[in-house]
């Protein structure tokens, strides 16, 4: 079963990213020849987005989220048992992209064995093992979103550990 | 915790990047890919004008997008001496895969050797010679001189029968028409070596003698037949895992278009499960027969079809032999061949008899016969495409079992027609072009036993690792190591001597029972541990390579990078070996023999192609193949018209059959008499042990993992070979998921990792074959059929727990591999 709650999309961070890009482009045009400077950073600058509060989560019922932007759907889930890399007081909160890293089909959650499954070509990923592909065609394990939980119990996504399907930069760049 | 690459972005392919055609060099399906390369200090941009795809890459790409690639499809490699960016991604315009990538092929870029990114550093860069107690790198001239001197001494003092050769016969990887020709010309034209074997079996023989003897070449259809058929009849194959995009891009559309599916396999495979999802369980019939009983099932299906008049009378009358026995059973033909009526005298089996032997219900066998052959309600004939692979090729009574299956296709006229065909599914691609091998004989020499008996003095090995992929492997390894150690000891003892003294010492050790081993490979393999000379080869795309896929689709897979280090194409290594043989033999005063080694003045792999394949198929050139792109041309090539090669969509479309070489061009039926376990020792082993040890494949591994053993994405998933096991068996034996277990029988022992699988039957386990961390072949007995085809699939043993789960195995997913939607 899926919940369709909205998430805070962290628009401010995205706008800031866009402005930096524009300023960089402008600067490049005025620098004298031979003094070019690298634009941007070695790694993409991930936004910190509030996804939900711990109190919103029901064990083994995934919540639909989007990270790092609205075109990258995922789920946030409290598994009910501690897992390696799990967040929260029980170490059991995880979040994953739900775009299959094989061909980008939308994965569906199977509560029975806590896996994400692809209807297109039958790949499946283990939500209790860091998104490891239990079986399938993808050549990446499932991108997992790094989570931070603040004092109020708000859950923030702050990074991704694999390339998300459909983008050559995890944070889309113009 | 799952392995992650932590890639957050990838270089964008610029609009002017170089584009090359690539046929995936792994499985027989041969999916089309494109390789893009561009200079290291250039990159594309997100604007449509700035990238190869003309897409706005600042936006999310959606499902099945052409313009997306992932980190496994990227690397930095050497091209014309310079480091370049490389992306290898599926080709949306290739009719084979339509843009689908597999878990094997979509890692081709990552599995390239790169000194910049550090991938595949196991690849060999230079020849190595056993010297002063270790393998030391050296020049090609030095290594080749030693190979030629020892080989020439042994074949002249004894005979060419003292030279044992293990050589691939396949396409793709480092095989292909160029390389099979190079090695074939050396051993079958310049020499007449008969003590040779192929990479996956212990003799130089066909895997499918009977279908050929019946007149039916084993790759006779087009992949589109799966979408044009009424029924897919799959035997001993698991295409969702092992011919992935044939299944997804051709079989699944067939199932979704209304085709039914019959799967014969003792194990409930992922193909069965996925087909039920795609077609509905009511349209998939899984006949989970007792292991090794396929022939009895096929005979009952044939009997039911014939007795109900569902055969194709016109086809039988016009295209098959009608006059009783055509070929009598003898030592080279394990079953008589002739007319349908003749075969039925032997094959006749009732549904109940088969049910008793096979352990499935007579009702289900009848249902299979109906799905395969019962005419439609309007009286029109039912189309059925039959496909088979290792389940029966490496199964019980290979000759008769495959013959019994082909009988059904012939009786129903399902060969050479749309929606028909009776084909093996294949492992590697094909790419065989060699001089006639008739001197090898039939049955061919059982080469493993020849070596075990202490015969042969020199062993040339071309891209084979029998340590992982032969039967009776435990004994083979013991003997091969002992004999090659004798030569190593002699080399060590002669350290500091002249080349002549060294050769004398080696030949002395050989004459005392030793074995001089030359290993040509891309990596230092397990059997390579016994080698005295190691020669580094390169692979497809480090050279140009031609091969054909399972529907005979021939492509040129283009070179996009340099061979790693000083490695070379196998065909050029064979040429160099021949030239050195000529030189050394001339020095020895053997001029006439030396003259046999002329004709290898090849500079490139294209020269080898022209010398071999082109000589027999003058229409086919590199330029013409390049122009045909990733869709290539289906062999046999019939001509060249309007700037294009003209191919052949399916064989035998005119209803005549020629694979057996008969002048009457009539297909023959096989008198496939059921005789229980055919190979020696199987019945006794079955009675003596608790578990049947099935030998299976997995989509994630390519063959014996020669590259994947150094690919973290793969080794993170399965650090040990999995052994699928029924959970109740595990509980009974106090085995937990990931525990290391040992399989033991009289042949040897092997180890793997228990993987709970609720669909596994009790007392049956399925172990992945060919693993570097546990060879299933260790426990397979030496039993073969009359033509030396091994029965790898039938092996029984006892199981004991070796260790609790290791830190590695404890961290991985042990959930069901079956999708749950």
Instruction: From chain A, pick out residues whose CB is under 8 angstroms from the CB of B62.
Output: 104, 166
What is the separation, in whole angstroms, between the first and last Cα of chain B? 24
If you count residue pairs, one on A and one on B, with CB atoms under 8 Å apart, how many are there? 158
The tens digit of pLDDT for each residue in B226-239 reads: 999 999 999 999 99
B65–A104: do the CB atoms touch at under 8 Å? yes
Contact with chain B for residue A133, Cβ under 8 A? yes
Most B-contacting residue of A109, A163, A170 (CB-CB within 10 A), to test interface: A163
What is the residue whose two structure tokens read 């059982």? B446
Picking from A72, A134, A137, the nearest residue to B244 by CB comes out as A137
3-state secondary structure A102-171: CCCCECEEECCCCEEECCCCCCEEECCCCCEEEECCCCCCCCEEEEEECCCCEEEEEEECCCCCCCCECC
Is the pLDDT at B402 greater than 90? The verdict is yes
Q: Confirm if B40 and B98 have CB atoms less than 8 A apart.
A: no
A118–B819: do the CB atoms touch at under 8 Å? yes
Is the pLDDT at B652 greater than 50? The verdict is yes
Q: Confirm if B95 and B105 have CB atoms less than 8 A apart.
A: no
Instruction: From chain A, pick out residues whose CB is under 8 angstroms from the CB of B277.
Output: 122
Instruction: From chain B, pick out residues whose CB is under 8 angstroms from the CB of A138.
Output: 103
Catalogue the long-range contacts made by B223-227 (C-beta closer than 8 Å, 24 or more residues apart): B223/B96, B223/B249, B223/B250, B223/B550, B223/B551, B224/B250, B225/B385, B225/B418, B225/B419, B225/B420, B225/B421, B225/B650, B226/B250, B226/B251, B226/B253, B226/B254, B226/B259, B226/B385, B227/B253, B227/B254, B227/B257
Average pLDDT, chain B: 97
Q: Give the contacts of B699 (CB within 8 A, at least 6 positions apart).
A: A135, A137, B102, B103, B104, B240, B241, B242, B244
The tens digit of pLDDT for each residue in B775-800 reads: 999 999 999 999 999 999 999 999 99
Cα of B127 to nearest chain A Cα, Å: 33
pLDDT score, position A38: 59
Is the pLDDT at B542 greater than 50? The verdict is yes
Q: Give the contacts of B438 (CB within 8 A, at least 6 positions apart).
A: none
Q: What angle do CA B626, B631, B637 make, to 5 degrees?
A: 75
Indicate which residues of A carry an active-site annotation: 102, 121
The residues that bridge with B693 in the sheet, in sequence order, are B765
B820–A137: do the CB atoms touch at under 8 Å? no
pLDDT score, position A42: 87
A172–B3: do the CB atoms touch at under 8 Å? no
Average pLDDT, chain A: 84
Contact with chain A for residue B65, Cβ under 8 A? yes
Picking from B4, B46, B57, the nearest residue to A161 by CB comes out as B4
Contact with chain A for residue B110, Cβ under 8 A? yes
As a whole number, mean pLDDT of residues B584-592 equals 98
pLDDT band at B299 (very low <50, low <70, confident <90, very high): very high
Most A-contacting residue of B1, B8, B85, B87 (CB-CB within 10 A), to test interface: B8
The tens digit of pLDDT for each residue in B593-606 reads: 999 999 999 999 99
Distance of alpha carbon A72 from alpha carbon B509, whole angstroms: 67
Is the pLDDT at B158 greater than 50? The verdict is yes
Is the pLDDT at A36 greater than 70? The verdict is no
The tens digit of pLDDT for each residue in B501-518 reads: 999 999 999 999 999 999
Picking from A121, A133, A172, the nearest residue to B60 by CB comes out as A172
pLDDT score, position B560: 98
Residue A68: cis peptide before it, omega within 30 degrees of 0: yes
As a whole number, mean pLDDT of residues B321-341 equals 98
The tens digit of pLDDT for each residue in B514-535 reads: 999 999 999 999 999 999 999 9
Helices and strands (H, E) in chain A, number of each type = 1, 10
Nearest CA to B564 out of B230, B161, B124 is that of B124
Q: What percent of chain B has pLDDT over 70?
A: 100
Contact with chain A for residue B92, Cβ under 8 A? no
pLDDT score, position B173: 85
Is the pLDDT at A17 greater than 70? The verdict is no
Q: Which two tokens stand for residue B395?
A: 């199964």
Contact with chain B for residue A66, Cβ under 8 A? no
Instruction: From chain A, pick out residues whose CB is under 8 angstroms from the CB of B4.
Output: 130, 140-141, 143-144, 161-162
Give the chain B residue whose CA is nearest to the CA of A144. B4
Distance of alpha carbon B702 from alpha carbon B522, whole angstroms: 15
Is the pLDDT at B497 greater than 60? The verdict is yes
A128–B812: do the CB atoms touch at under 8 Å? no
B713–A139: do the CB atoms touch at under 8 Å? yes
Predicted ipTM?
0.96
Q: What percent of chain B has pLDDT over 90?
A: 99
Most B-contacting residue of A45, A135, A162, A172 (CB-CB within 10 A), to test interface: A135
Q: Confirm if B119 and A155 have CB atoms less than 8 A apart.
A: no
Q: Give the contacts of B786 (CB within 8 A, at least 6 positions apart).
A: B331, B332, B334, B399, B443
Q: Confirm if B97 and B27 have CB atoms less than 8 A apart.
A: no
The residues that bridge with B669 in the sheet, in sequence order, are B338
Is the pLDDT at A15 greater than 70? The verdict is no
Is the pLDDT at A26 greater than 90? The verdict is no
pLDDT score, position B21: 98
């Amino acid at each position: 079963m899926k919940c369709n709650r909205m998430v805070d999309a962290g628009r401010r961070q995205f706008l800031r990213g866009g402005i930096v890009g524009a300023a960089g482009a402008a600067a490049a045009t005025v620098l004298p020849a031979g003094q070019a400077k690298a634009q941007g950073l070695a790694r993409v600058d991930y936004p910190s987005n509030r996804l939900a509060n711990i109190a919103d989560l029901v064990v083994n019922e995934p919540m639909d989220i989007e990270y790092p932007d609205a075109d990258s759907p995922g789920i946030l889930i409290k598994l009910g048992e501690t897992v390696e890399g799990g967040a929260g007081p029980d170490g059991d909160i995880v979040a994953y992209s739900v775009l299959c890293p094989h061909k980008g089909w939308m994965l569906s959650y199977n509560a029975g064995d806590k896996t994400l499954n692809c209807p297109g070509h039958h790949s499946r990923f283990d939500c209790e093992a860091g998104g490891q592909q239990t079986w399938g065609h993808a050549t990446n394990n499932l991108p997992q979103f790094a989570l931070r939980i603040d004092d109020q119990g708000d859950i923030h996504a702050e990074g991704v550990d694999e390339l998300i399907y459909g983008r050559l930069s995890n944070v889309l760049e113009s | 915790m799952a392995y992650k690459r932590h890639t957050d972005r990838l270089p964008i392919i610029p609009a002017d990047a170089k584009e090359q055609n690539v046929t995936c060099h792994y499985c027989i399906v041969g999916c089309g890919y494109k390789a893009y390369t561009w200079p290291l200090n250039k990159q594309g941009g997100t604007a449509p004008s700035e990238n190869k795809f003309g897409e706005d890459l600042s936006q999310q790409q959606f499902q099945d997008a052409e313009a997306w690639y992932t980190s496994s499809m990227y690397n930095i490699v050497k091209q014309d001496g310079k480091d370049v960016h490389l992306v290898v991604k599926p080709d949306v315009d290739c009719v084979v895969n339509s843009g689908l990538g597999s878990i094997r092929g979509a890692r081709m870029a990552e599995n390239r050797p790169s000194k910049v990114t550090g991938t595949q550093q196991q690849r060999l860069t230079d020849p190595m010679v056993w010297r002063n107690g270790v393998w030391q790198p050296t020049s090609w001239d030095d290594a080749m001189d030693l190979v030629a001197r020892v080989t020439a001494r042994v074949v002249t003092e004894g005979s060419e029968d003292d030279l044992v050769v293990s050589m691939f016969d396949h396409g793709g990887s480092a095989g292909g028409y160029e390389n099979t020709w190079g090695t074939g010309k050396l051993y079958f034209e310049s020499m007449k070596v008969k003590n040779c074997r192929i990479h996956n079996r212990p003799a130089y023989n066909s895997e499918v003698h009977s279908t050929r003897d019946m007149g039916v070449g084993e790759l006779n259809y087009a992949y589109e037949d799966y979408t044009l058929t009424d029924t897919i009849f799959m035997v001993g194959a698991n295409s969702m895992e092992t011919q992935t995009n044939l299944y997804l891009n051709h079989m699944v559309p067939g199932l979704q278009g209304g085709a039914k599916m019959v799967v014969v396999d003792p194990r409930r495979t992922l193909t069965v499960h996925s087909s039920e999802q795609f077609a509905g369980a009511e349209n998939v019939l899984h006949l989970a027969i007792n292991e090794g009983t396929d022939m009895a099932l096929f005979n009952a299906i044939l009997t039911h079809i014939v007795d109900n008049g569902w055969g194709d009378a016109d086809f039988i009358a016009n295209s098959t032999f009608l006059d009783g026995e055509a070929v009598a059973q003898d030592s080279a033909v394990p079953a008589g061949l002739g007319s349908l009526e003749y075969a039925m005298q032997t094959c006749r089996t009732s549904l109940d008899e088969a049910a008793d032997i096979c352990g499935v219900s007579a009702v289900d066998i009848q249902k299979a016969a109906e799905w395969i052959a019962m005419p439609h309600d309007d009286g029109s004939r039912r189309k059925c495409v039959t496909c088979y692979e290792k389940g029966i090729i490496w199964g019980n009574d290979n000759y008769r079992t495959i013959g019994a299956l082909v009988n059904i296709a012939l009786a129903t006229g399902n060969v050479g027609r749309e929606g028909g065909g009776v084909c093996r599914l294949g492992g590697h691609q094909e790419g065989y072009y060699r001089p006639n091998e008739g001197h090898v004989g039939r049955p061919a020499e059982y080469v493993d036993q020849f070596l075990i008996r202490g015969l042969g003095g020199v062993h040339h090995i071309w891209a084979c690792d029998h340590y992982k992929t032969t039967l009776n492997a435990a004994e083979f390894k013991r003997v091969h190591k002992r004999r090659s150690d004798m030569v190593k000891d002699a080399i060590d003892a002669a350290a500091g001597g002249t080349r002549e003294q060294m050769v004398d010492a080696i030949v002395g050790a050989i004459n005392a029972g030793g074995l001089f081993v030359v290993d040509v490979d891309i990596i230092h393999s397990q059997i390579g541990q016994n080698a005295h000379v190691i020669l580094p080869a390169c692979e497809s795309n480090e050279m140009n390579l031609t091969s054909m896929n399972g529907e005979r689709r021939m492509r040129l897979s283009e070179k996009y990078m340099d061979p790693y280090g000083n490695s070379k194409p196998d065909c050029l290594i064979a040429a160099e070996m021949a030239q050195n043989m000529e030189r050394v033999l001339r020095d020895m005063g053997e001029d006439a023999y030396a003259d046999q080694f002329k004709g290898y003045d090849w500079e490139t792999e294209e020269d080898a192609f022209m010398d071999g394949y082109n000589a027999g198929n003058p229409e086919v050139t590199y330029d013409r193949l390049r122009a045909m792109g990733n869709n290539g041309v289906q062999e046999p090539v019939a001509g060249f018209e309007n700037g294009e090669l003209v191919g052949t969509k399916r064989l035998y479309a005119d209803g005549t059959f020629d694979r057996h070489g008969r002048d009457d061009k009539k297909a023959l039926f096989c008198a496939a008499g059921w005789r229980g376990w055919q190979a020696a020792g199987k019945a006794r082993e079955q009675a003596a042990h608790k578990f049947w040890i099935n030998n299976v494949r997995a989509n994630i591994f390519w063959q014996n993992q020669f590259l994947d053993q150094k690919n973290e994405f793969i080794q993170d998933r399965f650090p040990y070979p999995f052994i699928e096991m029924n959970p109740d068996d595990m509980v009974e034996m106090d085995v937990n998921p990931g525990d290391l277990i040992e399989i033991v029988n009289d042949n040897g022992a092997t180890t793997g990792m228990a993987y709970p699988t609720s669909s596994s039957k009790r007392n049956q386990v399925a172990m992945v074959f060919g693993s570097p961390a546990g060879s299933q072949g260790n426990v397979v007995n030496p039993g073969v059929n009359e033509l030396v085809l091994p029965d790898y699939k039938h092996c029984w043993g006892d199981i004991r727990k070796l260790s609790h789960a290791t830190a590695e195995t404890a961290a991985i997913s042990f959930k069901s591999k079956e999708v749950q939607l």
